Amino acid sequence: MPRISDLEVAILGLLYEEPQYGYQIEKTIEAWGMRNWTPIGFSSIYYVLKKLEKKELVTSKLEKVEGKPSRKVFTITSSGKSTMEAELRDLLSWNKKLISSFDLGLAYLNYLKPREVINCLENYVESAQGRIKFLESSVKTQEKLNTPYYVVALFSRPLAVLKTEVAWVEQFIEKIKKEENL
C-alpha cells in the first residue's frame, strides 16, 4: 500500500464519500474551513488529484454539462479507500512530533535582551488570544449547527492545545522575570 502525504489524505478523504470535480472540492474545503487545520491551497488541489490518479487511488472521467464546459470528475478507487483507511489508523494512533518555528525562537532567545524577549512573548500571547477567540467562536457555531462531533473536534482540539500553550508561555514569562530580576 503506497504511503501518501497529509494533503493527499485531505483530498482522498473528500472523495471517500462521493465523486467530485475540482471546483466542488474547493467549495467543500471552504465550507469545512479546512484551511484552518490543513495547509491546502487552491492551486494544489489539481496537483494532488494528479498524484492520486497516478498512484491509482482515484480515477477520473470527463462529465458533460449542458451549456458549460466539460468537467473532470474524480472517484476514489477501492485501493484508494484501503489506503485512506490505513492512513487514518496511522494518523489517529501515533503522536507525531510537530515542528514549530516558535521553538527556533526559544533556542536562540538569549541573543535578545530579557525585556525584549518578554515583550515578544507577550505579543505571542496576545496573538494566541485572538486565535483562541476565533476557535471558541467556531466551536460554538459548529455546535449550534449540530455539526458532527468529529468536525467540532477540528476546532476544540487546537483550542485546548493553544490554551495550554498560552499558560506555558505566561509561566515562562514569569520565570524569565524571576531569573533576570525584572
pLDDT for 159-175, tens place per residue?
Answer: 999 999 999 999 999 99
pLDDT at 2 over 80: no
Q: For the structural domain made of 6-93, what CATH number should be given?
A: 1.10.10.10
pLDDT digits (tens, 9 = 90+) for 45-66: 999 999 999 999 999 999 888 8
Question: Can you give the pLDDT at residue 99?
Answer: 86
What are the beta bridge partners of residue 65? 68
- At residue 36, what is the residue type? N
What's the pTM value of the predicted model, to 2 decimals?
Answer: 0.80
Element (H, E) at 166: helix 149-179
Which SS3 state, helix, strand or coil, does residue 56 take?
Answer: coil
Residue 27 near residue 42 (C-beta atoms within 8 A): no
Cβ-Cβ contacts under 8 Å for 11 (sequence gap 6 or more)? 25, 40, 45, 48, 49, 52
pLDDT for 42 beyond 80: yes
Residues sharing a CB contact under 8 Å with residue 28, sequence separation 6 or more, in sequence order: 14, 20, 34
pLDDT digits (tens, 9 = 90+) for 70-109: 899 999 999 999 999 999 999 999 988 888 999 999 999 9
| 146 Rama class: left (phi>0) / alpha (psi -120 to 50) / beta | left
pLDDT in tens, 108-153: 999 999 999 999 999 999 999 999 999 999 999 999 998 899 989 9
